[in-house]
Amino acid sequence: MLDVGRHPNIELMAYSQVERVEGQSGDFSVTVRRKARYVEEDKCTGCGACAEKCPTKVSDTFNEGLGTRRAIYSYFAQGIPSTHTIDPEYCRQLNGKKCGVCKKTCQADAINFDQEDRVVELQVGAIIAATGYEVFDPSCIPEYQYKEIANVVTAVEFERLLSASGPTGGHLDRPADLAIEAEIEALEKKAQKSQRVLDKFEKKYGEASPKFYEKYQKDEFEDDEDLKKWADKYDAHMGIAGPLDSLKKKAEGFGVAKRLAFIQCVGSRDFRFYPFCSSYCCMHSIKEAIIAQEHESETTSTIFGMDIRAVGKGFEEYKIRGGNQSGITYVRGRVAEITQGPDDNPVVWYEDTCQRRVRNQEFDMVILATACAPSNGIKELAQVLGIEINEFGFLKTDPSQPLDTTRAGIFTCGCAYGPMDIPESIVQASGAAARAAQILSDFQMRKAS
C-alpha cells in the first residue's frame, strides 16, 4: 500500500464515488464525486491528536461494531492516504452544536468545516472494477441465533478480536463479557456521580448515609423535605450499587475464550441464499483456529462442516498441521441449531454424519464462516458502468475471457468477479492490469496510425 501511495503514476482518489461513465474502450470519460472529508488531505499528517480529543464516540464499523471510534477518525491503521475524516452524521459542529475541539487541537490547521463535495472529470482508456465483497448476514438463519446469543460471532468479527489493532488488543475476550464490562463502567460512573451527591448530605448532617437511611426508615425524623431528598438519593444510589456489585462478582470469573466452534458454509452452499461455495472459508477458519491457539496454548477448536475444501497449494498440509499441532478437531456434520447455555456459553446441536447421531456440545464462543456475498451497491455501479451482473449478483464476464466484463474496455478481478482468496485475487488483478495495458497499447497504436 505504501508503494502505491508513493508511486508517481498512481493517483489515489479514496472516499470517492463514480457517478457516470461515457465513451468507449480506449477513450472513457468518467465523472467522480470526491466526498468532503472536512479535513484537508494535503495538510493532515495523520497524527491522530484530533481523534484523541473528540468528545463524540460512535460504533466502529471497521471493527464490526465491537469497539468505538470518534466522530473524526481514520478508517483503519496504516491506511493510504494517511488522513482523517469527519463523519457528518455524528459531528457536533456539523450538526449545529458548539464544539470544534478537533479544529482547536489540529496543529497542521487541516480541519475545514466548510469543505464541500467536488466533482472531477477523468479521461481514461480502461477501467478495472474491483469492488470486493460483503459478509453475509447470518441473522437470516434464525436457528443460529446470531445477534441473539452474544457469543455467536461471524468470522470477520472474530478476525478483529484476534487482531492486535482490534478492540481487545488481540485478546479473545468474549462479546458477552465485553458488554458486561461496558455496563460495569457505565454503572461506576453513575455510582460516582451519585456518591458525590450523598457526600454533600453527609458533610452537611455529619452522618453516614447508610446509618441515616436506617433511622429514616424507622421514622426517627420529623418531616423534612431535605431529609426526604437525601433518602431518595440514597435509595437511587443503592439501586445502582446493587447491580454493580453483582456484575463485578460475575466479572471476576471472566477469561479468554478457550473452547471454540467454527461452523462452515453459513449462507453458502445453501439454496436458500447462495448455492455456490465461497472457496476461502475453510482455510480462513483453520487459520483463525491456529492463531487463536497461538494466543492461548490451552485453546481448542472444533470445525463443523459438510467437508473441508482445501484446494490450494499446501492447503491440505496446512489443514493436517492444524489438527496435529493446534488443537483442531474436524467434525463432519451439519449444525442444526445453536442454543444459549449456562454462563452465556453457546451450545451447538449437530448431526455427526460419521456416527449417525445427533449430538450437542458447549463452547465459549461460536464463529460462523459466512458466505462471500456481492458487495453493496454493485448493481448501481454496474448500471453506471453499463455492464451486466450474473445470476449470483457478481459482475458477469465472458467465459473465454474471464476478466472481461460485458462492455469492452472494462475489466474485473477479485471478489467482484466471484468468491476467491487473496493469492487468487492478486493473480487476477495482475491479469486485469495486463488486459488494461493491452487496450491502452492498441488504442495508442490505432491513434498513431
- Residues 93-124 have pLDDT tens digits of 999 999 999 999 999 999 999 999 999 999 99
Q: For the ranges 1-15, 67-81, 114-128, 235-249, which has the lowest average pLDDT?
A: 1-15
Of 39, 35, 14, 21, whose CA–CA distance to 118 is shortest? 35
Of 148, 132, 158, whose CA–CA distance to 63 is shortest? 158
Residue with the bigger pLDDT between 70 and 222: it is 70
The pLDDT confidence band at residue 312, using thresholds 50, 70 and 90, is: confident
Q: Does position 219 have pLDDT exceeding 90, yes or no?
A: no
pLDDT tens per residue across span 128-171: 999 999 999 999 999 999 999 999 999 999 999 999 989 999 99
Report the pLDDT value the prediction gives residue 107, as an integer from 0 to 100: 95
At 395 the three-state DSSP class reads strand
Say how many C-beta atoms besides its own lie within 10 A of residue 362's C-beta. Answer: 14
| CATH superfamily of domain region 375-448 | FAD/NAD(P)-binding domain (3.50.50.60)
Residue spans of the domains in the chain: they are 2-24+31-123, 135-174+257-373, 177-251, 375-448
Query: How, if at all, do strands 372-374 and 133-135 pair?
Result: antiparallel
Section 35-54 average pLDDT? 94
The pLDDT confidence band at residue 4, using thresholds 50, 70 and 90, is: confident
Strand order across the 127-129 sheet: 127-129, 410-412, 401-405, 397-398
The pLDDT confidence band at residue 447, using thresholds 50, 70 and 90, is: confident
Rg (CA), the chain: 28
Of 144, 137, 172, whose CA–CA distance to 158 is shortest? 172
CA 427 – CA 431 distance, rounded (Å): 6
Longest dimension (CA), the chain: 107
- Kindly compute the dihedral angle of the four CA atoms of residues 247, 250, 252, 258, in this order, to the nearest 10 degrees: -130
Q: Does position 444 have pLDDT exceeding 90, yes or no?
A: no
Is the bond leading into 81 cis (omega within 30 degrees of zero)?
A: yes
Q: For the ranges 10-24, 135-149, 206-220, 330-344, which has the lowest average pLDDT?
A: 206-220
Q: Does position 50 have pLDDT exceeding 70, yes or no?
A: yes
The angle at the Cα of 317, spanning 429 to 276, to the nearest 5 degrees, equals: 50
Contact 403, 432 (CB under 8 A): yes
* CB-based burial label for 15 (10 Å; 0-12, 13-18, 19+): middle
pLDDT tens per residue across span 366-423: 999 999 999 999 999 999 999 999 999 999 998 899 999 999 999 999 999 999 999 9
Q: Does position 297 have pLDDT exceeding 80, yes or no?
A: yes
pLDDT tens per residue across span 281-296: 999 999 999 999 999 9
The CATH number given to 135-174+257-373 is: 3.50.50.60
Of 81, 79, 77, 83, whose CA–CA distance to 106 is shortest? 83
The angle at the Cα of 414, spanning 412 to 419, to the nearest 5 degrees, equals: 120
At 239 the three-state DSSP class reads helix
C-alpha separations of 229 from 170, 190, 193, 224 in Å: 47, 18, 16, 9
Task: Report percent pLDDT > 70 for the chain.
Answer: 100
Section 306-311 average pLDDT? 89
Report the pLDDT value the prediction gives residue 91, as an integer from 0 to 100: 97
Of 172, 169, 168, 173, whose CA–CA distance to 292 is shortest? 172
Domains 135-174+257-373 and 375-448 share a fold: yes
pLDDT tens per residue across span 190-215: 999 999 999 999 999 999 999 999 88
Section 263-276 average pLDDT? 95
CA 177 – CA 183 distance, rounded (Å): 10
Report the pLDDT value the prediction gives residue 1, as an integer from 0 to 100: 64
Q: What pTM value is reported for the model?
A: 0.90
Q: Which three cell numbers stand for residue 184?
A: 460495569
Mean of all residue pLDDT scores within the chain: 93
